[in-house]
Amino acid sequence: MSAGRLLVMDDEPRFGAFVEEVARDLSYDVKVLCDPTEFKGVYAEFGPDTIVLDMVMPEFDGTEITRWLSAQKYAGKLLIVTGYNPQYSKIAKTLGELGGLTHVERLSKPLRLEELRRALRA
């Protein structure tokens, strides 16, 4: 039985592969994107109930996608990750919650294996 559908949006392919491997071990169906311009189309087609979202990416940043998810009335889990200033993820979390997102969690890179497992199981 599947744990759900996970969409990973991160411009670092190695991080996306790490999340994918951990999530598949937890029985998630997983799609990984490295190009943020593909996010909206894949989101609409795949219908994720969990999203791992990087904050700092070329062309788009995580706050833009978080606002868009709020406008879509996304009801799933949003795991915001960053390897930069944690203030980025704090701002995105606040924007998401103000926009009606109900399950938003902040994680920092480098992400430990157990921390990722815990966040995906929660």
pLDDT tens for 14-43 read 999 999 999 999 999 999 999 999 999 999
| Contact residues for 90 (Cβ-Cβ < 8 A; gap 6+) | 106
Which pLDDT value is given to residue 63?
85
Give the domain range for residue 115: 4-121
What percent of the chain clears pLDDT 90, i.e. is strictly above it? 63
Residue 27 carries which DSSP code? Answer: T
Q: Indicate if the pLDDT at residue 85 is higher than 90.
A: no
CATH number at residue 15: 3.40.50.2300
Q: How many domains does the chain have?
A: 1
Which pLDDT value is given to residue 8?
98
Q: Is the pTM of this model over 0.85?
A: yes
